[in-house]
Structure formats: structure tokens, C-alpha cells
Structure 1
Amino acid sequence: MTLDIDSVLTDLSQVQAATWALALDGFLTGRQQDSRLGAFDPHTDLHRLVDGVRTPWAVSALLQERGVDFPDARTAQRTGRELARRQQTVLDR
């Protein structure tokens, strides 16, 4: 639990999990031809995104683990940054 700006207790991990699910599931759904591309799992995937790894790298690694191929590291990073921005936009709403 975390106190937000209004001193309200918030379960931040639940909020993060929900916003990451919204941001990543749409991306993954468009690539469902590969059976490894399951939905974002907040119980296992969230910790890999936020625990000690820069978010764009973590997102890129998660996608590659799920079978999303990138032509090069720059494209992987760009995609990771875009999905991180998408998550932040959802979080800000």
C-alpha cells in the first residue's frame, strides 16, 4: 500500500498491474498467431517490469520472451518506450 498525493491508501501494485495489462494486452492481441503470446499476467510479469530493470528494456524482454521478433535492438527499444508511454497514459487517466 502506498499513500497517494491526497493521502489516500492505494494498492499501487494493483493499479500498475491493471494499467500494464491494458497497455500490453492490446499489443499482444494483435499478434495472437503465436501461442506464446498470452495476456499480461500481473502476478508474474509485473515484477519483471518494475523490479530493478529500466522499463523499456523490461518491456522489450517480455515481448521477446513471448515470441515477438524485432529486426534490431533499436526497434525493440522504440517499441518498449512506446508501450511504456501507453501505460503511463492509461495510468494518468
Structure 2
Amino acid sequence: MDTLTREQLLKDIRDALNHLEDPTYLRRSPLAVIFGVADRYDTPSALRKILTEAIERLEPSPKAPSDSRAWRIYESVYYRYVEAYDQEAVARQ
């Protein structure tokens, strides 16, 4: 069995996030196997849920300053992938 490198895992995550609304792509994503959802009838929605919940867990504490680095990172990732804003719209946020 091949060892998954950190670089490959990051690439797979980035690719899946960039295709979050593409069920055909998500069904074939290596992440489906890694997260144990490859054999499910709802593989795309299960993988989408795993990825979006992971992003939502990045949300900083409400006590964190709204202009903190943590909030900027979270909002960039959330709006880009969960809300599907294009990169220009995210940059304007």
C-alpha cells in the first residue's frame, strides 16, 4: 500500500474543495476512500459534508477580534468553498 504524503493529501483536499459542487468529481476523489465514504450511495454528499464541516470547525471564537488573522482565514475559506464565491469576490471581502 502506498504511503500518502502530506503534499498529496493537501493536493487532494484542494482539488476536492475546488470541485465541491461536482458530484462526479467527489465520487472519484481519493478523499472518499480516506474518509470511508467511497462505498456509500451518497458518496458525493457525504464527502461534501465532511469537508464543509471541517471548514466550519475553523470558525474562531466569538471573543476573537473580528479583524484577527483567524477570522480572515476562516472567512476566506468559508466564502470561497462553502458559499462558492469566486476568488475576486473573496478578495473584496
Asked if TM exceeds 0.5, the reply is no
Q: Which has the larger radius of gyration?
A: 2
Task: Provide the TM-score with structure 2 as the length reference.
Answer: 0.36
Task: Provide the TM-score with structure 1 as the length reference.
Answer: 0.36
